[in-house]
Amino acid sequence: MPQTNTAAGSFSRRVLLIAIGSTLIMGTVPLWVRAVSANAVTIGLVRLAITVSILSVIVALSRDFNKIRGKKDWGMLVVIGLFFGTHWYTYFLSIKLSSASLGAISISTFGIHLLLLNWLFKGQRATLGDFASVLLCFIGCLLVIPRFDLQSGATVGILLGLVSAFLYACLPLLHQTIQHLPTMTRTWGQSTFAFLVFLPLAGQSNWALGMNDWLMLGILGVFCTFVAHSMWVKASTELPAIITSLVYYLYLPVAVLLSVIFLNETLGIKMIIGACLILSANIIQSLRTWKKSQA
């Protein structure tokens, strides 16, 4: 299998393509979440039910449950599921309360959160350039927020999106602690224990849905969850964090473009500038880290 060699690590081109494909599919999520009549809880329950049903059969047939080693592995799978479920719930709420574009923009701060986590847990030294990237991203977030009013759905939606981005940045680090488990097994655990977040909220779900709603939920469940997340779990575990964060930024232009075309969302000049600052801060930081690792 061809390999791509960098100072950030040696990784398979196939895994890189898997990461890109996963990101492109997930870039459609804000469109579906915003368009479907189902609320955040219903979306989560349906997507998880579809994914867990498929994955349970696959993992059972492959006998990969036997590879889960005692309480430590089970405990990490539960933790991953809780982080993932909370990430989903806050992200869906972000899109529903604000817009598909604003939800996608706020989740794109993922890379800066990953930088902060690497400072805290991997002992990476913070440089002046790192702080500049964080500041640039912060300014971008300020520009994107329409007005500083917690009574505004857009403002609350963006704040929830930032929380969701932080939780999402935690997932690759958590998966790396149990990367001896097969990808499908970890994805099964992530999805299964995410139910622990959504089940207590089941009373808030809404099921008065039309055929188009069920079709969109099916697309979200099969393609955007089972297919895309299985691909992403594999890619984010095996690729260096630098590559993961760079690839993930394809998400934003795909999501925003689809939102403008199919949802008729409009982008003000402040939102465009803010989104560009956030995207630039994340990409520049990833490239700086990559270049530094090659020195």
> What tens digit of pLDDT does each residue of 119-143 get?
777 666 767 777 888 888 889 888 8
Residue 11 pLDDT level (bands cut at 50, 70, 90): low
CB environment 164-187: b (16+ within 10 A), e (fewer): bbbbbbbbbbbbeebeebbbbbbb
Whole-prediction pTM value?
0.85
Query: What would the two tokens of residue 129 be?
Result: 């350039």
| pLDDT tens digits along 242-281 | 777 778 788 889 999 999 999 999 888 998 999 899 888 8
What pLDDT does 88 receive?
96
Q: What is the pLDDT at residue 104?
A: 92
* Nearest alpha carbon to residue 95 among 211, 278, 258, 233: 258
DSSP line for 223-258: IIIIIHHHHHHHHHHHS-HHHHHHHHTTHHHHHHHH
- What pLDDT is stored for residue 21 in this prediction? 93
Tell me the H-state helices in the chain.
13-26, 29-35, 40-62, 70-97, 100-107, 110-121, 128-144, 153-176, 183-198, 211-221, 228-238, 241-248, 251-262, 269-294
pLDDT in tens, 153-202: 889 999 999 999 999 889 988 998 998 999 889 999 999 999 999 999 99
Q: Mapping DSSP to helix (H, G, I), strand (E, B) and coil, where does residue 108 land?
A: coil
Question: What's the chain's length in residues?
Answer: 295
CA–CA distance, 176 with 292 (Å, rounded to integer) = 23
Q: Give me the mean pLDDT over the 87-100 stretch.
A: 96
Higher pLDDT, 99 or 64: 99
Average pLDDT, the chain: 87
**Using CB atoms within 10 A of its CB, is residue 253 exposed (0-12), middle (13-18) or buried (19+)?**
middle
